[in-house]
Structure 1
Amino acid sequence: MVDVHLDPDVLSGLQEVMEGEYPKLLETFLDDSQKRIEALRTARDDAKALGKIAHSFKGSSGNLGAVRLAQLCERLELESGEPTANLEALVDQIDHEFAVVKPLYESERQRFQV
């Protein structure tokens, strides 16, 4: 697993495409991600629900360049179908990784607010 938290090329590309809406995109991602983290915590004992949440979280994380977060979500999605998987540990890792990238996105958003 890579130790890259954010892919600057993805952020740069998004900034170029989104222009003035870029800070709003980051804000939306942060709000949505916080809700997904809470949903993962709530669904800890429901492997099927964890898999679904992880699938959508993987997509949004990948689209916004949160490389490691997307990888962890992909692992959770895949392992949610395995009866012996330690899903709780993966949820904890996802929670921790979001705690790492959240201030990075907040800082990025601050740079572009008018």
Structure 2
Amino acid sequence: MTESNVDRDVLDTLREVMEDGYPELLETFLADSENRLHELQDSTSAKALSDVAHSFKGSASNMGATRLAELCQDLESHAKDKSPEALAQLVADIHSEFAAVRPVYENEKDPVHTH
């Protein structure tokens, strides 16, 4: 599990700020991420890929998923000049990174973690 790819300080701050809304925030992030992953797979134009990557990058960054945000930044910046194969690989990398960090967010929803 790539715990290091999630910035714990960001999560701790979010937990403090959101308090009771924190589990819901995690749920929303996971659901939105799933939707964006589907959109990335379905997108055929560079513009669409770039747009989805931009919004995904923002939410990943806000949630402390640093590596995921970097991959989305890469896709957003290079969607227009990468080959279809390279884009497909980058989308696959984003998929696998989300799969790697997802358990961190799932675990955060567990009431055992609340203070």
TM-score, normalised relative to structure 1: 0.90
5+ residue gaps, structure 1, are: none
Given that 1:4 and 1:68 are in contact with CA atoms closer than 8 Å, whether structure 2 keeps it comes out as no
Deviating runs (4+, > 4 A) in structure 1? none
Q: Sequence identity of aligned pairs in percent?
A: 49
**1:72 alignment partner in structure 2:** 71
**Cα gap change, 1:12 to 1:42, in 2 (>3 Å):** same
Q: Which moved more, 1:94-103 or 1:79-88?
A: 79-88
The alpha-carbon deviation at position 4 of structure 1 amounts to 3.4
- Structure 2 letter corresponding to 1:92: A
Asked if 1:104 is matched to 2:90, the reply is: no
- Aligned-residue CA RMSD (Å): 1.6
1:81 to partner: Cα distance: 2.2
Q: How does 1:81-100 map to 2 (within 5 A)?
A: 81-84=80-83, 86-100=86-100
Aligned equivalents of 2:99, 2:106: Cα separation in 1: 11
How far 1:82 sits from its partner (Å)?
A: 1.1
Q: Could you tell me which amino acid in structure 2 is paired with residue 101 of structure 1?
A: V
1:23 and 1:42 mapped to 2: Cα distance?
29
Count of paired positions? 110
What's the TM-score once normalised by structure 2's chain length?
0.89
Structure 2 regions of 5+ residues with no counterpart?
none
